[in-house]
Amino acid sequence: MVKLVTSSVVRGSQQGESHGGVYLIDFENESVEQKLDWDTVNIDWRGRGWDRGLRGICFDDDKIYIAASDELFAFTPRFELIGSWRNPYLKHCHEITVFKRKIFLTSTGFDSILSFDLDKQVFDWGMTIQNRQFRFNGKRFDPQSDDGPMMFNKLHINNVFCNENGMYLSGLKSGGMLHYNGSEVNMSVELPLGTHNARPFRDGVLFNDTNDDVLRYTGRGEGEEDRAMAVPKYLDSEMTHLDKRDEVMARPGFARGLCVLSDSVVAGGSSPSTVTLYNLPKNQQIASANISNDVRNGIHGLEVWPFD
């Protein structure tokens, strides 16, 4: 059974309108169930700014963690809110990941990664990424102190992934997927500008090439296994209440949201909110679930549902 959980963001929404939600997609039974609507969550609108929707998703035992722009929420598997945490250095959060009792969150506004300790339930570590003369530097800081980084958003760090080989992070303007080995930050692989969700996969890198509206896999070999899978585009869309920045990102085929089901099958998101399963070896789409035809409504977080 393939069951995924995804968050969506509705760009250009006004206060009182839905800013997206969280959905369970059951591909076996061909059903979509909305579990959260961001307009019904108790939102403190002060200081939220843009990017108000729910974003990255991860799990720890029987808890679901979902990030908003500047807040981390915890839910039960029934999506009952059981906790939330904020930090002054968490701003415009996008993707999050869990590794060894830590949740790592992208703080896009501060070009930083924050760590949330799952046992102590506090933000306990931060690292801001600096780029000077084509060299990257990771400067660590205490997110509980007052001497953290300034908010510049130069690299637009929007994705983080961790495994035994280190931390991998990327952004719209980072030029590629960066690797942090615990002491240094180096370029792991160069990628197109506008990339989302870059992560190591098999012997290469898997990512959403958002500017070209495709999900790509690029390996280290001769290119025979490389893939560029076009994402679905639904054209029946509303374009009201959008500013110029929203018009660029709220378009059919905007590829964002990615998770791995196996060595051969992956899932990717696109706008209007659609989740598609891909078989990479066969170079084909397996199935697709469309949640909305409003082009402002785009997939963001995407994970395999671990419960039931």
Task: Render each residue's pLDDT in the chain as its tens digit; 308 residues.
Answer: 689 999 998 865 555 556 789 999 999 999 999 999 877 545 554 444 345 689 999 999 999 999 999 999 999 999 999 999 999 999 999 999 999 999 999 999 999 999 999 999 999 999 999 998 779 999 999 999 999 999 999 999 999 999 999 999 999 899 999 999 999 999 999 999 989 999 999 999 999 999 999 999 999 877 788 999 999 987 654 444 455 555 556 688 999 999 999 999 999 999 999 999 999 999 999 999 999 888 888 999 999 999 98
Q: Which residue from 251, 243, 247, 177 is spatially nearest to 216, judged by alpha carbons?
A: 177
Could you tell me the CA-to-CA distances from 142 to 87, 149, 157, 163 in Å, in that order? 11, 10, 19, 23
**Residues 295, 239 contacting (CB under 8 angstroms):** yes
DSSP codes of every residue in 100-162: TTEEEEEEGGGTEEEEEETTTTEEEEEEEEEEETTEEEEEEE-TTSS-------SS-EEEEEE
SS3 sequence, 236-250? Answer: CCCCCCCCHHHHHHC
For 28, the token pair is: 């076996």
Kindly report the CA angle at 207 between 276 and 112, in degrees rounded to 5? Answer: 120
Distance CA 148, CA 150 (A): 7
For 287, the token pair is: 């199935």
Q: What is the CATH number of domain 3-39+49-304?
A: 2.120.10.30
